Structure 1
Amino acid sequence: MDGAEDNSLNIYKICRKIKRTDQSLYNALRSIYQDSLFVSEIRRLWPELPLMANLRCGLWYSQQFDDTCYFKSTDGHTGNWSFNPIRLNIHVATIAAEKGGCIIVDATRKGKRFPDSMSKTIPIWICVLNRAIQDFRRANLTKCSEALQSTCSEMSNVQDCQHQRMNYADGNAEPNLYQHRKAFVNKLDDWDCSLHLPLWVSDSEKANIESRIEGWTKILEATGTDLMFLAKSLRRPLRPLWISQKTVIWLNEVPDLDSWDFTPVILVSASSSMENTKRMSDDEYSWRYIPGAADDEESWARVLSPSLFWKHSFDLISGGPEACNKMVADIVERDRVYRAQRGQEALQIKLKLKKITTDVINHLEEGFNAEFQSVVNTEGRFFSVERTGKPDQHGIQQLPQGQFNLYWIGTTRLAISTSEYARLGDGSGQFDSILNCDTTSFLPRNGEDTFIHLPILGSKFDRFDLQNNLPSAVEFARKKLERGQTLLVCCSNGEDISVCICLAILMSLFDVKGTFDNGRSFGSTAVSKWDVRRQLVYICNFATNARPSRGNLRQVFNFLIRE
């Protein structure tokens, strides 16, 4: 009996060992690299279209993306379909309108051709936006018709009114408003607002989704999202197209963008749809292909980021399976030390290394000789960072351009960015004061009275830290805004805690129109969850990378209802 248990236990251990071998770090990175070649091929078909990564999985599949977006697969799960106004991704529609379309990259591990984010979440989003834009245009058309009717009724005689309706052929005469209205109505009737889903979605599921579209459209319109720019710039309705590794594309028949009567949102599923791993080999190494290898990066990446991977992709791939784990550990440690030297966020990582390698020691010596030079461009939107000395010879991670975004929230004199941006831009004149809620601080250049450091932990580490620090943050903002100063709110990534603090400031000190009133409207009305969501949507219209966590938003709401 004991022998049988030992045999079953041994078989169990063997199966686990085989699974760990198949899901190794090298196999994951090699699979990502293999799938990135397919993404590059698709991008070459439409080089004029911007390439966007659906966070976070999609960010691994190309060395260079033009932008990112955030569509969750859970919003497309069967029976759980949703349109979330907090994740509006309006910048995706704006970019598609300006460039004539866009390409979005994502992947899945579940043996499907496309993740639910592509098969349902994005098509739902597209349909809701198209209908909201059509409703906006119809509302404007109604206002124009009423104004035209009023103009005609005020005319002194019938002949003047008939004269207004005439169709003038010469360019010196006034345009015919009636003909213009008729053409605009015809264009509205041709605007495609139908729900486009892939063929593998069942008819019953499609019907269930369609029955909810109208309600989601009203939710979008009720948030106060500014649709005017999209209504003016989007000449053709958005429409999704799906491309996977099984899609057949005749290279001599690739359609031109102008030949389509819609604005394409091309959804590229980077990985193959096989359910199990597949043994593959090249001239040097044998490895197993993992579909959707980049999914759930916390379980396999060992803190390696997409940008770090692509900086060292050649060495990691050519180094082979045996050296991969140690190379990744060295790369991550170099980056951690590099960030720590400059006061950036550098989490302590437990590495299974007996000693620091010679490369790390050499990096420490050269790291002190590297200096940042911050340059503000003429538009005052982005910082570009250059480094004197030898760039990236020791695998130093340069911060991606996205970390230097500064988002001004309308005309509120509030801005959101990363703490690294604030550190580099302090003293540049872009903003008068800084509210830093990162766990690490820096010495202010404009004086202590223009700076406050509130080291706030996220809800995963402390469920009440943000709520406890919000009174100090709002009071600091009140003093600066009363003087007419601009205020930058920053955190480690510029996506979560800084957005929540800015939300609390707007709710506490501004009215519904975004005008600073020092809290008068806040004190006279009761705050509901819908009010908080509406104000968050207002912030997301400007800070396109805003992704506040649910736990932090709950702390903001609890703070507001207790004030």
Structure 2
Amino acid sequence: MNLNSIDEPRSEDVLSYIRKESLDVYNRLHSIEEDVAFVDQVHKSYPSTPLLPNLRCGAWYTDPAVATPVPAYFKSTDGHNNNWSFNLRRANLHLLPLIIKRQSIILVDSTRSGKKIPDALSKTIPIWCSVINRAMLLRHLSLKEERGVDWNVALYTPPSTVSRQEHHQIEQRLDNWARDLANSSFNLPLLPSPLRPVWITPSTSTFPTFSPKESEPPKFFPVICVSASKQVRQGVERRTGGFSYIQGSGDDHELWGMGLTPEMFWAHRTRLRAAGRTDIPTLVAEIVGSENNASAIQNPPSPVLHVEGRLLLAAINEIPQSPQDANIRYIILTPSSEESQTVDDTHVYIPTVSGKKGQSHFLQTILPLSMEAINQALQGGKNVCVACESGKDMSVGVVLTALQLYFGGDGLYISSNSAYSADKRSIRTRLEWIIESRPQANPSRTVLKRVNEFLLTPSTFRGVPSLPGP
């Protein structure tokens, strides 16, 4: 037999096999289970410290029964090389009262790219900590007099993950970001101690300890960044339990999850964990189908605090089916192929359009119709709740426009918008009001561009078309 005639496996065949393994829902869910065990181990080491998932990926690894129900959204892209940013649209300042109260938090995330720590934990959060520490000195002058050199504003990054060159390049930008934050309209509660990130991964041999003296404030409040998944250099790793371990399995669940979400995973975790490989696809389809048919309200609408709740934001599934508050008018931006609007005593339904046509539709139809309905309701003494499918995007654009048209810089209602004055700064300030009231708000650049176009160009876009009568 000629051994030389035996074909070696082709590289494309190997890659195809790895790709198939990595998309297998059975492998994914069992890999997540392995990572959940590690996160549980970390949390047991700091039982009094709030546990928060970094959305979206981190939600797969944190049990909602023990996690603190406070959203945290630190994007990896804000930490990508040459794209570093402290984004005021994702300021995460709502975490500060929790940190002040509990003196620490645990943030959980993961990465699938073969790295040890995701950029969100290795760079975005270190930027966040340092910028907030610096903004504290700018906003609270007494802090500098009281703490002086003891107030540490240094940038801390994991040296095994972030090079000294990249670390230095980030440092050069921190003061400008801190000035932007200090000059914003955001409330910046006074921190008793500066923030400082620390990192824990599955390769960490000894977890750090924090034991401040009770007689004085701690030198820093630790922001414990937990990278949940074990680093896999190439491909996947076989486990004796009969599955292939995939690093960062919770990432991009749209590609492998068959519609499964972290919420569904935790609600049906016991059944999913017990199911065999051949049964998993059928079980997931059953769970997704039953959950999609459920209409349970997840969270109540979020009032914009700066205008005393005259305007509210929500996802469509957060709107009560039988509204109890007759003083609220609901404007619902609903995905629909219908081109007409419908109005009843409590609701205005405005269909949205997807794709490129949706941009002009949002500008020329949704914003004018929404402003007409909001103006009528506000003049009649009613509050207005605007909802879109996610509660994070188009509804934010509508409320942002209404805040600029019908509310002054002091947050008081203006009965007529004939004398309103808008510029990019005033629009940005009102967006900060929204983010402070609803931290998960995350309007797309496209929506914000259309809002600016609507507010900063002549009013020929407004007033046409008009709503039908109820």
TM-score interval, normalised by the smaller of the two chains = 0.7 to 0.9
Partner of 1:411: 307
| Aligned pairs (5 A) from 1:87-98 | 87-98=90-101
The residue identity in structure 1 corresponding to 2:344 is E
1:439 aligns with 2:395: no
Residue 305 in structure 1 maps to residue 305 in structure 2: no
Equivalent residue for 2:116, pick from 108, 113, 116: 113
Q: CA deviation at 1:405?
A: 4.9
Q: Is the 8 A contact 2:407 2:414 kept in 1?
A: yes
SS in 1 for 2:53: strand
Q: Quick one: which of 531, 534, 556 aligns to 2:451?
A: 556
Shift of 1:40: 0.9
Equivalent position SS for 1:68: coil
Give the drift of 1:491. 2.2
Q: Which structure carries more helix by proportion?
A: 1
Does the Cα contact within 8 Å between 1:76 and 1:121 map onto a contact in 2?
A: yes
Give the aligned partner of residue 541 of structure 1. Answer: 436
1:437-476 matches, cutoff 5 A: 437-439=333-335, 448-457=344-353, 462-467=358-363, 468-476=365-373
Offset, 1:533: 2.5
Q: State the shift of 1:257 in Å.
A: 6.0
Cα distance in 1 for residues equivalent to 2:410 and 2:454:
21
Q: Which amino acid aligns with 1:270?
A: A
**Deviation digits for residues 276-295 of structure 1 (CA, Å, limit 9, x no counterpart):** 3110023xxx1100011111
Distance 1:210 1:254, change over 3 A: closer
Q: 1:11 to 1:273 in 2, by over 3 A?
A: closer
Give 2:150's aligned amino acid: D
Aligned in 2, Cα 1:115/1:427: closer, same or farther, shift over 3 Å?
same
CA distance in structure 1 between the partners assigned to 2:230 and 2:415 by the alignment: 56
Query: Is 1:525–2:421 an aligned residue pair?
Result: yes
The equivalent of 2:171 in structure 1 is 210
| Contact 1:236/1:261, CA 8 A, preserved across alignment | yes
Report the Cα distance in structure 2 between the residues aligned to 1:404 and 1:414, rounded to whole angstroms.
13
C-alpha distance in 1 between matches for 2:72 and 2:112:
20
Say what the alpha-carbon RMSD is for the aligned residues: 2.5
Separation of aligned partners in 1, 2:83 and 2:250? 24
1:235 aligns with 2:130: no
What secondary structure is seen at the aligned counterpart in 2 of 1:516?
Answer: coil
Contact persistence 1:45–1:254 (CA under 8 A): no
- 2:458 aligned with 1:501: no
Inter-CA distance 538–116: structure 2 relative to 1 (3 Å threshold): same
After TM superposition, list the pairs within 5 Å mapping 1:52-451 onto structure 2: 52-64=52-64, 65-66=67-68, 67-138=70-141, 141=142, 185-200=145-160, 201-227=162-188, 230-231=189-190, 234-249=191-206, 254-256=209-211, 260-276=218-234, 277-282=236-241, 286-336=242-292, 338-339=293-294, 342=295, 400=298, 403-412=299-308, 413-424=310-321, 426-428=323-325, 431-439=327-335, 448-451=344-347
Q: Where in structure 1 are there 5+ consecutive unaligned residues?
A: 1-6, 142-182, 343-397, 441-446
C-alpha displacement at 1:509, in angstroms? 1.7
Query: Counterpart of 2:334 in 1: which secondary structure?
Result: coil
User: Could you report, residue by residue, the CA deviation over 1:192-226 in whole angstroms, capped at 9, with x for unpaired residues?
Assistant: 11111112322222221111111111111232212
Match for 2:166: what amino acid?
E
Q: Tell me the CA shift for residue 29 of structure 1.
A: 0.8
- Mapped contact 1:100–1:257 kept (Cα < 8 A): no
Question: Counterparts of 2:315 and 2:19 in 1: how far apart (Å)?
Answer: 39
Matched residue SS, 2:243: strand
Distance (whole Å) between structure 1 residues aligned to residue 38 and residue 21 of structure 2: 25
Q: 1:18 to 1:71 in 2, by over 3 A?
A: closer
Partner of 1:46: 46
Q: 1:503 to 1:526 in 2, by over 3 A?
A: closer
Query: One-letter code of the match for 1:554?
Result: K
> Secondary structure of the equivalent of 1:104?
strand
Asked whether the 8 Å contact 1:459–1:551 carries over to 2, the reply is no
8 Å Cα contact 1:404-1:418 kept in structure 2: no
Cα displacement (A) at 1:463: 2.5
The answer to whether the 8 A contact 1:458-1:466 is kept is no
CA contact (8 A) 1:27 1:290 kept: yes
User: Which string of whole-angstrom CA distances, capped at 9 and with x for unpartnered residues, describes residues 294-321 of structure 1?
Assistant: 1111111111011111222222222122
8 Å Cα contact 1:107/1:292 also seen in 2 = yes
Say which SS state the counterpart of residue 439 (structure 2) adopts: coil
Query: 1:443: which partner in 2?
Result: none
Q: Percent identity?
A: 31
Give the secondary structure class of the aligned counterpart of 1:455.
strand
State how far apart, in whole Å, the 2-side matches of 1:460 and 1:30 are: 39
Instruction: Work out the CA distance in 1 between the residues paired with 2:322 and 2:306.
Output: 20
CA distance in 2, matches of 1:459, 1:307: 28
Distance (Å, rounded) in 2 between the aligned partners of 1:215 and 1:279 = 47
For residues 457 and 268 of structure 1, do their structure 2 counterparts lie closer, same or farther at Cα, with a shift above 3 Å needed? farther
Note the C-alpha offset of 1:34.
0.8
Distance 1:226 1:18 in 2: 48
Q: What do the CA deviations read for 1:93-131 (whole angstroms, capped 9, x no partner)?
A: 222112211111000011111101111111111111111
After superposition, the Cα gap between the structure-2 partners of 1:449 and 1:57, relative to the gap in structure 1 and judged at 3 Å, is same
C-alpha offsets along residues 45-93 of structure 1, whole Å, 9 cap, x if unaligned? 1122211111111111122131221111111111111111111111122
| Amino acid across the alignment from 2:81 | T
Q: TM (normalized to structure 1)?
A: 0.72
For 2:101 and 2:357, the matched residues in 1 are separated by 41
CA-CA distance at 1:13 after TM superposition: 5.0
SS in 2 for 1:52: strand
Q: What residue identity is the alignment partner of 1:307?
A: E
Distance across 2 between alignment mates of 1:17 and 1:94: 48
* 8 Å CA contact retained: 2:301, 2:312: no
Task: Rate the CA distance shift 1:425–1:47 in 2: closer, same or farther, 3 A.
Answer: farther
Q: SS of the residue aligned with 2:282?
A: helix
Q: What do residues 320-346 of structure 1 show as CA deviations (whole Å, max 9, x unaligned)? A: 22221121112112222x23xx5xxxx
